[in-house]
Amino acid sequence: MKRWLWLTLAVLILDQASKWLVLLILVPYQVIDLTPHVKLTLLLNEGAAFSMLAGAGGWQRWFFAVLALVVSAILAQWLVRLKQGCRLQAAALALIIGGALGNLIDRLWLGRVVDFIQVYIPFLPLPLFNPWPAFNIADSAISIGVILLLLATWWADGPSASPPHPPGK
């Protein structure tokens, strides 16, 4: 299902364009209020999700770059081998690949990932995740892709599918 690669390309273009725009208008830690609960805040993340391994000394840049390449290659193989009717899986895989490649470009070009969307969740009492860690369009595409892939898998198995019968019954 190569025709879904347009979605990968769209994610990649939106992600990179938004990051370069933010890099042009903001300095690190500068905040622009978009709404009372959504802000633009330029943060440069040397780690992975939630800044995991951010202070690891530099090796993580290449580890996450290689990981993104390997995962993207595997998912691309999966995508091109999908059957014609698997649109939800195809969209999910295309989103994940686009997000992984978007963050890969940042790692290779800048040595870190550009994060800039910061959400404050008013009803969340835990200060640990309020504001929610900053993210970008690539991160959003990966998250949405994973959720869609889980849904596609769940629906493929069928929520009402009968459980397998034990042997001999």
The structural domains of the chain, with segments of one domain joined by +, span 2-156
| pLDDT tens-digit readout, 52-109 | 555 556 666 778 789 999 999 999 999 999 988 889 999 999 999 999 999 999 999 9
What is residue 162's predicted lDDT score, i.e. its pLDDT? 45
C-alpha closest to that of 146 among 114, 115, 108, 100: 100
Q: Which two tokens stand for residue 106?
A: 């940042």
Q: Is 139 marked active-site?
A: yes
Confidence band of 153 (pLDDT split at 50, 70, 90): confident
Share of residues in the chain with pLDDT > 90 (%): 60
What is residue 37's predicted lDDT score, i.e. its pLDDT? 87
pTM of this prediction? Answer: 0.83
Alpha-carbon distance of 128 to 146, in angstroms, equals: 24
Q: Is 115 marked active-site?
A: yes
Active-site annotation holder among 15, 106, 139, 157: 139
Alpha-carbon distance of 65 to 67, in angstroms, equals: 5
Residue 129 near residue 39 (C-beta atoms within 8 A): no
- Residue 57: count other Cβ atoms within 10 Å of its Cβ: 8
Active-site annotation holder among 15, 33, 106, 115: 115
